């Protein structure tokens, strides 16, 4: 059986008539930018977000960037962002000329850890950008409290979490502004690029609208050096056709997530954790395992597509070399990027597909587990950074099984008398959690891993 990572087909089939009608309406009106469709969608989406204003823009990155710009954030300013997110969050900050200051996530929720924010605040800090990653709301109460205490703006990155709630309140309605993406794969996706900034501040909304329209408040009158980033009529009409179904489609994702959470019981896989305050919308179903690439390969062989969100953390991306943040400085983000795997999750997954994913994930590693129990196994997969062969010496042979950037995924094989012998006991394997623990394990075996 083949299970794609995502498929729009079930949704498209169901909404076929509505989407075609939306196309015809715009085409027949022959009006494509700044019109009734945009206005109607903005009104409906603001209501959905329990907010008074929504400004349609070209994409989610612009929604964030224009919000920051409208708040007056720019050169010399610092903005707190989570170290584990899609790069667009940081790009919005650097586009306006400010500096992203990364704060580590909570390893259980993958979202920014509010207890680590205050230590990163300086006199240049202007805003906090919580990201409701993978569809799971951030812990907003302590974030808002810190923002109030230090007089900081809060711009929520809601690109992955349309409709998720925190303590019963919908995300996007907490901060000064929120940025949404309607990239096709999002829970509410257009049939192309689109986005929106949502706020309860009319003045701010007007400024975002002007900034996205060449800085113009009325035709040929330019008060800002703006951009061109507007939600076009066609995408607005498609989004308006899909919005009434979003609640139901999010509910279906919750049902699939529940099936996964109840059905997956493989001991080498860490399932997502949902705090009491959160009702997520499961944009992504993220599991973690130290054998991530092995699991991805295994599932691919079984016809199941997966994804990694995200394989290289932002601070190690070439484009952010100038920030001078060394490898190891943000260990939780690095750990997540080395261990996270996203399972198929989309509206319209069949029961057979859900069952098959659960069955294959549970079957993964069964053979190796037997070997572990018998205390004889030939290889252990682990992620280590920049391992030089000479660090471990001649007792080990190395087999690179995957490589990206300078991360090496290695099979460590200890060569003892008759072929292979046990290198780590099974307790080590179960406790093994990536780079930092890997270092501890190696230290236990007398290997100085170094920095």
* 164: contact with ligand PLP by CB under 6 A: no
Residue that has been written with the tokens 């400004």 in this structure = 55
Which of 183, 238, 260, 424 is the binder for ligand PLP (CB under 6 A)? 183
Instruction: Return the SS3 of 280.
Output: coil
* 22: contact with ligand PLP by CB under 6 A: no
- C-beta of 114 vs 130, nearer to ligand PLP: 130
Buried b (16+ CB within 10 A) or exposed e, 283-300: bbbbbbbbbbbbbbebbe
Tell me, by CB under 6 A, how many residues bind ligand PLP: 15
- C-beta of 113 vs 294, nearer to ligand PLP: 113
Instruction: Return the SS3 of 260.
Output: helix
- C-beta of 46 vs 194, nearer to ligand PLP: 194
Which of 56, 60, 105, 365 is the binder for ligand PLP (CB under 6 A)? 60
Letters for 215-234 (x = contact with ligand PLP by CB under 6 A, - = none) are: --------------------
Measured between alpha carbons, how far is residue 394 from residues 268, 407, 413 in Å?
A: 29, 21, 11
Which of 83, 84, 89, 173 is the binder for ligand PLP (CB under 6 A)? 89
Q: By CB under 6 A, what part of segment 104-163 binds ligand PLP?
A: 131, 157, 159-160
* 86: contact with ligand PLP by CB under 6 A: yes
Residue that has been written with the tokens 């990694």 in this structure = 308
Say how far apart CA 406 and CA 28 lie, in whole Å. Answer: 54
- H helix runs in 310-434, sequence order: 331-339, 351-363, 366-373, 389-392, 426-431
* 175: contact with ligand PLP by CB under 6 A: no
Q: CB under 6 A: which stretch of 58-66, 144-152, 311-319, 324-332 binds ligand PLP? A: 58-66
- C-beta of 104 vs 428, nearer to ligand PLP: 104
Q: What secondary structure does DSSP assign to 357-386, as a single string?
A: HHHHHHHTTHHHHHHHHTT--S-EEEEEES
Nearest to 238, CA basis, from 172, 198, 180, 182: 182
Say how far apart CA 10 and CA 2 lie, in whole Å. Answer: 15
Which of 61, 65, 81, 191 is the binder for ligand PLP (CB under 6 A)? 61
Smallest distance, ligand PLP to C-beta of residue 179, A: 7
Residues at the interface with ligand PLP (CB under 6 A)? 59-61, 85-86, 88-89, 131, 157, 159-160, 181, 183, 193, 195
């Amino acid at each position: 059986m083949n299970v794609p990572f995502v498929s729009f087909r079930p949704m498209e089939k169901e909404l076929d008539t509505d989407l075609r009608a939306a196309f015809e309406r715009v085409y027949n009106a022959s009006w494509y930018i700044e019109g009734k469709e945009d206005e109607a969608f903005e009104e409906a989406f603001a209501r959905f977000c329990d907010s008074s204003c929504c400004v349609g823009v070209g994409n989610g990155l612009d929604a964030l960037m224009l919000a920051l710009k409208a708040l007056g954030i720019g050169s010399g300013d610092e903005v707190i962002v989570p170290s584990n997110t899609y790069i667009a969050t940081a790009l919005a900050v650097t586009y306006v000329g400010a500096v992203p200051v990364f704060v580590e996530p909570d390893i259980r929720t993958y979202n920014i850890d509010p207890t680590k924010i205050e230590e990163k605040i300086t006199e240049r800090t202007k805003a906090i950008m919580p990201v409701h990653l993978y569809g799971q709301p951030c812990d907003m109460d302590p974030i808002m409290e810190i923002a109030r205490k230090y007089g900081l703006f809060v711009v929520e990155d809601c690109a992955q979490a349309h409709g998720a709630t925190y303590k019963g309140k919908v995300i996007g309605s907490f901060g000064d502004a929120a940025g949404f993406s309607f990239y096709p794969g999002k829970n509410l996706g257009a049939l192309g690029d689109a986005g929106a900034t949502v706020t309860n501040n009319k003045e701010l909304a007007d400024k975002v609208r002007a900034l996205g329209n060449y800085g113009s408040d009325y035709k040929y009158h330019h008060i800002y050096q703006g951009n061109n980033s507007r939600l076009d009529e066609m995408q607005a009409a498609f989004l308006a056709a899909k919005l009434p179904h979003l609640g139901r489609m999010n509910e279906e994702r919750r049902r699939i997530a529940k099936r996964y959470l109840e059905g997956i019981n493989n001991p080498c896989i860490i399932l997502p954790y949902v705090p009491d305050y959160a009702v997520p919308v499961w944009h992504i179903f993220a599991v973690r395992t130290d054998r991530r690439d092995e699991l991805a390969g295994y599932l691919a062989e079984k016809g199941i597509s997966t994804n990694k969100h995200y394989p290289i953390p932002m601070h190690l991306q070439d484009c952010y070399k100038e920030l001078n943040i060394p490898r190891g400085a943000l260990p939780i983000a690095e750990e997540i990027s080395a261990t996270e795997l996203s399972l198929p999750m989309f509206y319209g997954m069949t029961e057979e597909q859900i069952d098959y994913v659960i069955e294959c994930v549970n079957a993964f590693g069964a053979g190796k587990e037997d070997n572990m129990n018998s205390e004889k196994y030939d290889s252990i997969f682990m992620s280590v950074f920049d391992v030089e062969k000479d660090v471990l010496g001649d007792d080990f042979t190395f087999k690179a099984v995957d490589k990206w950037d300078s991360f090496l995924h290695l099979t460590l094989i200890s060569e003892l008398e008759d072929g292979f012998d046990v290198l780590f006991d099974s307790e080590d394997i179960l406790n093994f959690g990536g780079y930092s623990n890997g270092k501890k394990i190696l230290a236990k075996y007398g290997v100085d891993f170094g920095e």
